């Protein structure tokens, strides 16, 4: 059973469609990054999955349960941290943990103490007196101490300093790997998740661009630069070649269905001298985003 499975999930806010027929599945034990620019629908997707928002059409299953029917049994296995989460400012860190602790049968007091120590959190300090970093770390303690099977993180690292960000990422990933948990992490900072994501989901303007294993995605994307022997090929670039550009006899593009054995020299016409290079997640994302933008124009 996949932790998350959606079928044509759609969410509208009045006339604005924030999420449009998104169909995807998140594999168990994966660290899945939801990527996209601001307004891509990342937060809406996560909030709809957790039934914080109801879907306008389509459906989502979380641990095999319709998202609209998620109850205590499912939420006892889901940890959630979001930059938009509202915590009462008068509450102290210790009080927040006191409220949530007894709700989870799997709450690990030793892990709670360890996380409080690692994150250097003063339990008697009120939320209104916490910096953004401390606030996020406190929410992480509440979301991690019961060893959730699914951890949903909505832009939790944005705005944090690099050291703090690295500490948090390391802690979260170590725990997830230790417990075999699934992590669904949204971010608009692609560099940030490049090194940790085993799977990626690209969203753009509420639509799913792609959802795939990171390694497979990297393997099938290549930057191709070729000096052509014949000019004919430039007139008919294939649809799967993104960002096709020609300057004189030189063409460059991003190949989206490349294989190791692809003979680019033959593909582009005999005699072409070709160089290929692997792409980073960011470059792959940008190629798709620009291609979509180009199609719209």
Partner 1 sequence: METMKAFWRYDWTMNRVRLITLAAVAALAPWAGHVSRAGLDSGATWAVFVAAFTGIGIVVLPGVLLGYVGDIGRVGAPFDFRHFSRSLPIDPGKWALAKIVSAIGLGVLVPTVLYAVMTAAVVFSLGHSVSAPNPDLMRLGLSCLAFFGVVAAGMLWSMLMAALVPFGIKSGAGVFLGAAVFFCGELLVHNVTGLRALGKTMKIALSSWASASEAGLCLALAVAIGLVFVRFHRNRRLGQALLLALGALVAVDAARAWLWWRSGA
Residues forming contacts to partner 1 in the complex (CB under 8 A) are: 47, 50, 52-54, 71-76, 78, 80, 82, 84-88, 90-91, 95-96, 98-100, 102-104, 139, 142
Quote the DSSP letter at residue 264.
Answer: H
Q: Tokens in use for 29? A: 């034990």
Q: How far is the CB of 99 from partner 1 (least distance, A)?
A: 5
Least Cβ distance, residue 92 to partner 1 (angstroms): 8
- Rounded to a whole number of angstroms, the minimum distance from the CB of residue 168 to partner 1 is 18
d(CA 256, CA 239): 9
Residue with Cβ nearer partner 1 (87 or 173): 87
Closer CB to partner 1, residue 88 or residue 166? 88
Q: Which residue has the tokens 């806010």?
A: 13
Of the candidates 246, 293, 295, 297, the residue with the CA atom closest to the CA atom of residue 272 = 246
**φ, ψ at 152 (rounded to 5°):** -110, 120
Query: Which residue, 20 or 51, has its beta carbon nearer to partner 1?
Result: 51
The rounded distance, in Å, linking the Cα atoms of 227 and 95 is 66
Whichever of 48 and 214 has its CB closer to partner 1, that residue is: 48
Q: What is the DSSP letter of 270?
A: T
Q: By C-beta, is 104 or 253 nearer to partner 1? A: 104
Task: For tokens 């799977």, name the residue.
Answer: 199
Q: Given CA atoms 232, 234, 235, 241 in this order, what sign does their dihedral have?
A: positive
Q: How far is the CB of 70 from partner 1 (least distance, A)?
A: 10
Task: Determine the Cα angle at 185 with ends 296 and 90, to 5°.
Answer: 115
Q: Is the CB of 47 or the CB of 192 nearer to partner 1?
A: 47
Q: How far is the CB of 100 from partner 1 (least distance, A)?
A: 6
CB of 57 to partner 1, least distance (A): 15
Secondary structure (3-state) at 106: coil
Cα 204 to chain centroid distance, Å, stands at 12
């Amino acid at each position: 059973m996949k932790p998350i499975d959606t079928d044509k999930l759609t969410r509208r806010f009045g006339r604005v469609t924030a999420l449009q027929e998104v169909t995807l599945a998140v594999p168990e034990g994966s660290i899945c990054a939801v990527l996209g620019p601001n307004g891509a629908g990342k937060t809406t997707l996560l909030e709809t999955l957790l039934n914080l928002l109801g879907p306008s059409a389509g459906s989502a299953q979380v641990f095999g349960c319709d998202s609209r029917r998620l109850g205590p049994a499912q939420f006892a296995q889901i940890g959630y941290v979001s930059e938009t989460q509202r915590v009462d400012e008068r509450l102290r860190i210790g009080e927040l943990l006191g409220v949530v602790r007894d709700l989870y049968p799997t709450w690990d007091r030793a892990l709670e103490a360890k996380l409080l120590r690692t994150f250097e959190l003063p339990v008697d300090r009120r939320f209104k007196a916490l910096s953004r970093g401390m606030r996020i770390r406190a929410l992480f303690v509440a979301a991690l101490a019961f060893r959730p099977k699914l951890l949903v993180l909505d832009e939790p690292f944005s705005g944090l300093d690099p050291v703090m960000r690295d500490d948090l990422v390391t802690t979260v990933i170590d725990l997830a790997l230790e417990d075999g948990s699934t992590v669904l992490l949204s971010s608009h900072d692609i560099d940030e998740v490049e090194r940790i994501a085993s799977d990626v989901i690209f969203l753009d303007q509420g639509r799913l661009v792609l959802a795939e294993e990171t390694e497979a995605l990297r393997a099938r994307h290549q930057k191709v630069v070729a000096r052509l022997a014949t000019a004919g090929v430039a007139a008919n670039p294939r649809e799967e070649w993104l960002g096709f550009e020609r300057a004189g006899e030189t063409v460059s593009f991003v190949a989206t269905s490349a294989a190791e054995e692809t003979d680019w020299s033959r593909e582009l016409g005999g005699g072409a001298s070709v160089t290929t290079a692997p792409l980073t997640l960011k470059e792959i994302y940008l190629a798709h985003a620009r291609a979509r933008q180009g199609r719209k124009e």
